[in-house]
Structure formats: C-alpha cells, structure tokens
Structure 1
Amino acid sequence: MLHLSLFTEDKRQNLITTREGEVKVGQQAQLPITNCNLADNLTQAKANGARFVILGIGEDIGPRANLGRGGATNAFESAMAQFLNLQSNRFFNGKECLILGQISTQDLQLDTQSTTEQLRDQVAKLDERVITVLTSIFDSGLEPIVIGGGHNNAYGLLMAAKASFKRPIAAVNLDPHSDFRPKEGRHSGNGFSYAAASGALGYYHVLGLHELKNSEATLAQLETFGAQWHSLQQIWIRQELSLETALKQIAKQLNNTQSPVAIELDVDAITNMPSSASTAAGIPLLDALKYVNYIGKHCPSVYLHLAEAAPSCHVAGEAAGHRETGQSLSELIYSYINARINAL
C-alpha cells in the first residue's frame, strides 16, 4: 500500500496570497492529479517540465525514539506557506516543481506514554514507506526535495537512491551530530550507520560536526567506516580553515567517489532554528544556504533532505516558529534548485 497524501488544489488556494500584477511560484508549480497513480503523476509532471519533487514527511517518532523532543511534524506546511508565495520571475518560474504532498504518518505516531522500543518499531515501519515512495521518484528521473520529519528518514532516502541508481550513495551532512550511533533499533540518531551497514552509504562526510556532541564510540565508528568530517570548531570557532576551503575539499572528495551525491541538512545546525535539538552555538543560515548551493552546483546531487525542523519548539511560540521555519526552509529549497539548474 502506498501511504501518500497528495497536495491538492484546495491546499494551494488556501496558502497563496495573490496580488494584482504579480505571479507567485505556487500559481506556476505543478500539482499531482488525485485520481492518478504515483508513477503516472511523476511521468506527467516530467513531461510538463518538472525537475524537482517537493515531498513532506511530517513525523517526530524518529527524534522521540532517539530520546529527543517531538514537534517535527508540520515543517512541510510551514515551508509551503512561504515557498508558494515567492515571486515567479526570470530567476525561477515554479513550473520546474511538482508539489507532491506528504508521506502519511498519522497511523504511526504514538502518544507520550509509548516506550522507546515501540517508537523504534514504528520508525522501522516508516522506513518502508519512505523507501517505496522515494524509489518511484528516483526511478522517474526527478530530484526529490524532502522536508522532514526526523533525520531518521535519511536511511530510507539512501536505501531508495541505492535501489534506483544501483550503487552506493555518497552523502554529505551539515549537522552537529553525525547520526552514526549504534544499531540499537531505528531512530533519528542512526540513519547513516544503518545505511552504511546495508551498503546504501558508500562515502560519508559530516560538515559542522560538534566536537563534544558525538560520543567517542560514535567517532570511532565513523573512523572505522572511513567517514570524514570538518568540525564546527575548526571552521567557525578556531577558524583553522574557511567554509569555502572546506566546501571545495568536500566537493572534490564526493566527486572522486564517482557516486550519486546526497545533500543532507539537519536544521539544528543553524543558530536558534526551532528543531528537536536547537542550539545557540550554531552556524548562520547564510552559511547553510551556501553549503546547499555549492554542493548542489559542483556535485552530481540526486536529492536534498531538510530534517528536524520543529516550528512548535520556537522560543517565541508556534506562530513565530512557523514563520522562521517556513522562511528558512524556503530559502534552502531555492538555494538547491538554483544550484541544480546552474550545475557545472
């Protein structure tokens, strides 16, 4: 069974604010046909000029299964409220995007009385849904832009990409946490270690890794796998090298693998971004935008994954969280699209 809630014309109309003399991205973006199966929807969208598929996975069972905070359930709505209201103009039309909708997760969400083991069992069930939907998207030749949900969904994305491209994937992840924790049951902290063990992850680089937010056991596991990293402290605190230099090094390493490239970003890397593990000691949003744009432009990227945004965790309340999350995710989406359209 395909667990997918399609984005509808009614949803679009409820989100877009029109103004005379202006055309919004949401007015130009493609929507799925509700009585059409996924494969046909993707084929039709591609024939009509689509290159990107925007998909939501609204869940917080992954972060909660990792003993973290909930709240990462409605970032997709926040993002679409902002993204669809951007101007359609000479820089970006909007027709290049299919706003597909969201993978259904409501039946998997468990209440606060659930055990860690129960939550991890549900994450494993979600993995299956993510793999099924994303494999179809990759097979269609379109590039998914996925808005989470927890970073647990990196596993399903990497598994689907490997299934479609028939080879392991090279991933780069802007994240203070490597998410390479032990295989102790599925959660948001071990998506990449599970993907590595399955053969879906062939190369892994962590940008902005916090030197004191990863256990020694995790660091050892990363080294054993052959993963590389640039730490938050190296670039932004001690300034041992510039972000530009780090990005050039990362792009060279990714391209040397001759593999499809996954661009991962946990928004808790960004200063004060509302998320399941928000931080005051993060990086500026502008540097996150540069990361997405640089790797997207200089590497054979096959998807962008924006994980862990949690509007309800904003210190000023949920309304402020929706505004900040929506604006930030919209900028990240456009940064990726712009890079891919102008890729070298």
Structure 2
Amino acid sequence: MHQNNLSDLHRFIDRPTSTWSGRNDGAGAAHRRVHQAVTSLGQGAPDSADAVFIGFASDEGVRRNGGRQGAADGPAALRSALGQLALAQGRNSLRHTDLALLDAGDVVVSSDLEEGQKKLAAAVRASVDAGVLPVVLGGGHEVAFGTYTGVADSRTRKTAGSATSQQPGRLGILNLDAHFDVRRAEQPTSGTPFYQALTRERAADTSCRYTVLGISEANNTQELFDTAHELGADYVVDEDCGVLNQQALLSTVREFVASVDIIYLTLDLDVLPASIAPGVSAPAGYGVPLEIINVVLKEVAASGKLAAFDVAELNPSFDSDGRTAQTAARLIHTVLTYYTPLSSAAPSLR
C-alpha cells in the first residue's frame, strides 16, 4: 500500500459519493466484501490506500458522437455491482485481497465536456503522483482524454524515463475496444480521445505507444483505419482475439508492456460480445471473449507499470438485468486484486 497525499483531490470533484453498501456476512477478513474496503474521501482517508475510485458522470461525448445516451449513470451502477463482490483467495491464489480503497466521488459533466475532462485530469494526476491507482468509472469513452492527460502530465511519468534522458517516460496506452476512437472532429467526443492524445504527444515530441485489442473491421471505417495507421497505432482485430489465440495475444501484451515505462489501461465495455455486455452505447455483434479480456487485465495489472485504469461506456438504461454492470464489476475486481504498484516486482502469472 502507498501513503496518501490526496488532500486536494476534493477540489476537482463535483459530487461526493454516497456510502457503499452490500451484503454483510459478519466482521473480519473471512467475510470481507469490496464495499467494506471502501472509505469515502470526505469521511477521512485511511493512512494508506491501494486505489481511489473517481466517477466521471458524462455522456456528453456520446451525444456529440451520435451514440445512445445514458452512460452518465454508469459510475453509480458500477459501484453498486462492485460493492457486492467478495475479497477472498482460493488455493494457490495470487490475488491481493487485503485492500484499502478510497472513493473520491464524481466529476459531473453537463454540456461543458472540456471542463470536465480538465477536472478529471487533475484528479488523476494527483492520484498517480500520490502513488494511489486511480480507477475511473465512466461515463462515455470521452473519459479517456481526461485520464490520459492526468497520466501524461504527472510527475510520475516525468521520472519514469531513463535517468540519462531529459524526456519523460514512454507512455503506453492499451485500449480494449471495438473502436479506434481516433476520429477527427471540430470538438471532443467519445470518438476522438486517442486522436487528441496522440496528436498532443506528437506536438510535445514525447514517446507514446497506442495499442488496441478487439478492433472490429465491421465497425471502423477505412478512414479510421487510415488515421490509426498514420498515428502509428498497433492493433489486433476481434477475430484474432479468440480463446485459441490466447498465447499469441499474451505475447503481444507482454511485448507491449516491456516496450513502455508507464501504462494507462482503458476498458471500453463494447469490446465484449453484446450477449455479455448489452448495456453499452454501441453493442458489439462479435466481440472478444470475456476470459480473454480478463487474462489481459491480469497481465497488465500485475506488470508493475500500471499508472491508471478506467472503464467506459456502461449504459444502465440498456442493461435491464444488470448483466453488463456485473461483468464490468468482475473485471474491475480483477485489476484491483492483481494490481502490483508501480516499480514493484510483479508476480508471475505464467
């Protein structure tokens, strides 16, 4: 666990979170669930914490991009589903379950998306530099530019590079997504964050690698593929992300991790098949199997290079049975329980 230095985090938050709740089977570690590991920042933070939740209640980017609105309600649904999950270890488990978690509350976006992204960036930057993993609960995928900016501008990134170089560390952005989200547009949307990020990196002459797993050739125009190629993006299409391709995909992920100094990991829930994740802004007709997404999250969380993680596009208004929220919660649980802090030795998952 890391010592907190998050006293100013509340300055960037628009809405405090309500108290987490869930089933209570009794006192002590033997009965512990996620909701019992969470302290709201306004209630006084513990001396140390592993991660801090930051909600990004926005679907303004989805509206601008012509998608199905409703993702602004995603943070509350994610908290509700995640709070119920147990913190337990099976035989030979590598999970870390003695977690101390904070909840900072929500950045709330109405029509001023750009201001919301600035607030989120400041909150993420403060968390990263305090040595506490920010877990950002979206919200549309416009959340990504805020999370990226917070990591990119952090002191942690600046010191992650070579001691002999004046350049900040090489940033790796790993996006689990059916879409590139590299649209060119007059204003930011849920479809533009990685175009914004990569053009910002080019303008600053800094080193950044963008890799996407799960790209759908049926849901990205040739213009988007051409833009991704122009920006130097790496990707694996959804048809090559099946269970039979798991070892090759893990090799790709491990090569990505080895090539960068610090990682921003982003999960767009529309990378999953619509049968598993119907409650998203743009459901996937094909998608990547849940077990593949889970094993990739394990690998990156345990790498010792993960600086920030966000989850995007949960749309509770299209998730009548809570299936998508429950799936997303389980994946967040994977990241939290396999997370190895920056610069720490990662346990082997092989």
Alpha-carbon separation, structure 2, partners of 1:63 and 1:324: 21
CA contact 2:96–2:338 (8 Å) conserved in 1:
no
- In structure 2, relative to structure 1, the CA distance for the partners of 1:233 and 1:299 (3 Å cut) is farther
- Which of 135, 148, 153 is the matching residue for 2:143? 153
Q: Deviations over 1:139-172 (max 9, x none)?
A: 2111111110011111111111111023352111
User: 1:132 matched to which residue of 2?
Assistant: 122
Correspondence 1:267 to 2:269: yes
CA distance in 2, matches of 1:129, 1:185: 18
In the other structure, the counterpart of 1:213 is: 219
The structure-2 alpha-carbon separation of the partners of 1:201 and 1:324, relative to structure 1 and needing over 3 Å to count, comes to: farther
Partner of 2:239: 233
> Any runs of at least 4 consecutive aligned residues in structure 1 with deviations exceeding 6 A, and if so which?
none
With normalisation by structure 1, the TM-score equals 0.82
TM-score normalized with structure 2 length: 0.80
Q: Do the aligned partners of 1:29 and 1:94 also contact (CA within 8 Å) in 2?
A: no
Whether 1:102 and 2:102 are equivalent positions in the alignment is: no
- What residue in structure 1 maps to residue 13 of structure 2? 3
The one of 175, 187, 200 aligned to 1:198: 200
Q: Take 1:246 and 1:286, find their aligned partners in 2: how far apart are those partners?
A: 12
Aligned to 1:288: 293
1:222-261 correspondence runs (5 A): 222-236=228-242, 242-257=245-260, 259-261=261-263
Instruction: Indicate conservation of the 8 Å contact 1:155/1:194, yes or no.
Output: yes
Q: Which residue matches 2:283?
A: 278
Amino acid at match of 2:79: M
Please report how far the alpha carbon of residue 92 of structure 1 lies from its aligned counterpart in structure 2 after TM superposition.
Answer: 4.8
More helix by share: 1
The verdict on how the C-alpha distance between 1:233 and 1:24 changes in structure 2, with shifts beyond 3 A counting, is closer
The Cα offsets for residues 300-321 of structure 1, whole Å up to 9 and x where unpaired, read as 111111100111113xx3xx1x
CA distance in 2, matches of 1:20, 1:337: 22
Distance 1:64 1:94 in 2: 40
Over 3 Å counting, the alpha-carbon distance change for 1:210 and 1:88 in structure 2 is closer
Matching residue of 1:116? none
For the 8 Å contact 2:238–2:286, the answer to whether it is kept is no
Q: How many residues align?
A: 306
What is the distance in 1 between the residues matched to 2:33 and 2:301? 24
| 8 Å Cα contact 2:13/2:104 also seen in 1 | no
Q: CA–CA distance in 1 between the matches of 2:52 and 2:34? A: 14
Any conservation in 1 of the 2:108–2:116 contact (CA below 8 Å)?
no
Q: Tell whether the 8 Å contact from 2:314 to 2:325 is kept in structure 1 after alignment.
A: no
Partner letter of residue 12 of structure 2? L
Structure-2 change in CA distance of 1:337 and 1:160 (3 Å): same
| Equivalent position SS for 1:56 | strand
Q: Secondary structure of the residue that 1:208 maps to in structure 2?
A: strand
The 3-state SS of whatever aligns with 1:33 is helix
Unmatched segments (≥5 aa) in structure 2: 1-10, 90-94, 159-167
Contact 1:183 1:194 in 2 (8 A): no
Determine the C-alpha separation between the residues in 2 that align with 1:54 and 1:180. Answer: 26
CA distance in 1, matches of 2:210, 2:332: 22
Deviations 1:39-61 (A, max 9, x none): xx6xx54xx23111112112111
Paired residues of 1:171 and 1:261 also in contact (CA < 8 A): yes
Letter in 1 for 2:346: A
CA offsets, 1:214-264, max 9 Å, x none?
Answer: 22222112112211111012333xx8x71231122232133223x211111
The residue aligned with 2:50 is 51
SS at match of 2:212: strand
Amino acid at match of 1:54: F
Secondary structure of residue in 2 paired with 1:197: helix
Which residue of 1 is the match for residue 317 of structure 2? 312
User: In angstroms, what is the RMSD of aligned CA positions?
Assistant: 2.2
